[in-house]
């Protein structure tokens, strides 16, 4: 079961209406790229979404991450399902402590 545990740590998914939102939790490398791409393909096949949105783990994704997204994009295109990739939402800065200057 070790492989399955690693696979689930790579990404999360949720539905947002007809959109399947897939969030990559970390950068992929040559050892995780294929597993992530296959998992995404299985999610698209199971959910049959109208669109797929991939949220990247960083603003500058690693080559293996881009490779997996490209593979997913080709698969989605063959199914007629639009795919978009997005940078992660900017992290909120630290909250000011009471009594400190901004």
Provide the pLDDT for residue 32: 94
What is the value of pTM for the model shown?
Answer: 0.78
CA distance to 33, 53, 77, 83, per residue, from 23 (Å):
14, 8, 19, 13
* 43-72 confidence digits (pLDDT tens): 999 999 999 999 999 988 999 999 999 999
Provide the pLDDT for residue 99: 64
Provide the pLDDT for residue 70: 94
Instruction: Please identify every stretch of the chain with a pLDDT value under 70, giving residue numbers as ranges.
Output: 1-8, 91-102
Q: What is the side-by-side strand order in the sheet with 11-16? A: 11-16, 19-24, 51-55, 83-86
């Amino acid at each position: 079961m070790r492989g399955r545990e690693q696979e689930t740590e790579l990404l999360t998914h949720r539905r947002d209406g007809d959109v399947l939102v897939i969030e990559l939790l970390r950068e992929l490398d040559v050892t995780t790229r294929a597993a992530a791409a296959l998992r995404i393909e299985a999610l698209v096949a199971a959910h049959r979404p109208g669109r797929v949105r991939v949220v990247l783990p960083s603003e500058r994704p690693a080559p293996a991450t881009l490779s997996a997204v490209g593979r997913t994009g080709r698969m989605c295109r063959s199914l007629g399902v639009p795919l978009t990739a997005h940078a992660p939402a900017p992290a909120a800065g630290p909250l000011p402590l009471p009594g400190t200057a901004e």
